[in-house]
Amino acid sequence: MSRKDNELTKKYIKDIKSADVWSVFKILADFVKGFDELGDLGPTVTIFGSARTDKDNKYYKKALRLASLLGSRGYNIMTGGGPGIMEAANKGAKEHDVESIGLNIDLPFEQTLNPFTTKELTFDYFFSRKVMLVKYSMAYVIFPGGFGTLDELFESLTLVQTKKVTGVKIFIIGKEFYQPLLNFIKEKLFADGMINKEDLEIIKLTDDLECVVDEIEVSLSKQIEVLEDVGLENTSYYKSLSSLRK
């Protein structure tokens, strides 16, 4: 066993042997920190993607451009705070007068906070971090990535499918990368009755960044109308959304 693997094993054993009550306090601390720091965010888009994508990768460049396009229209950008696609998105947002948020995770390897955030938080637990990444956003954009990105993709799809979140758009960038996965979803999950036809409509697979921005703008208008219908015009969230209405 390598030294790194040995250290990870020791940490795992320490965690599972720790008192349950202290684990609860650590979990609560993660959530309280997130709610306190992010509760006042205005219109925000979360961008997911690989930490291993270098600056010459076409998807790094696309994430940079998309975040810049959204930032120029007043949308905050939220990522997992790491390198790769996350760095590109935070970098694009930081070009504009919006929040560039990075929600980092405490890992023994790979995940280091990128230098392009204006607001950053570090979480102990993946699940609490993931809640924050989706709770305060009006759209999720998924770029190519590995297990973590796929986890975030299917978490997002499940939340929208089960209507635990409403009014949220999900965009998947990278037709070449994701088409085989979408084929599996259609040819296996849908064909075998595991999901409904309307579930397929949750997913928007595209490489057209301007289309993503335009659809988020349409979603913004719809959310404003919903808030008006239920009499929430005096809330800070309504006012922040309305400030971006053209």
pLDDT in tens, 95-106: 999 999 999 887
pLDDT for the residue 228: 82
* Pair of tokens at residue 76: 């905050």
Q: Which of 59-63, 117-121, 218-222 has the highest mean pLDDT?
A: 59-63
Q: Residues 22-77: pLDDT tens digits?
A: 677 778 888 888 788 888 888 999 999 999 999 999 999 999 999 999 999 999 99
CATH topology of domain 3-207: Rossmann fold (3.40.50)
Dihedral over alpha carbons 101, 34, 160, 45 (to 10 degrees): -10
**Looking at the predicted structure, is the pLDDT value of residue 18 above 60?**
no
47 near 141, Cβ under 8 Å? yes
Residues 6+ apart with CB under 8 A from 72: 95, 96
Looking at the whole model, is its pTM more than 0.85?
Answer: yes
Residue pair 80/121 in contact (Cβ under 8 Å)? The answer is no
Query: Measured between alpha carbons, how far is 50 from 21 in angstroms, rounded to an integer?
Result: 34
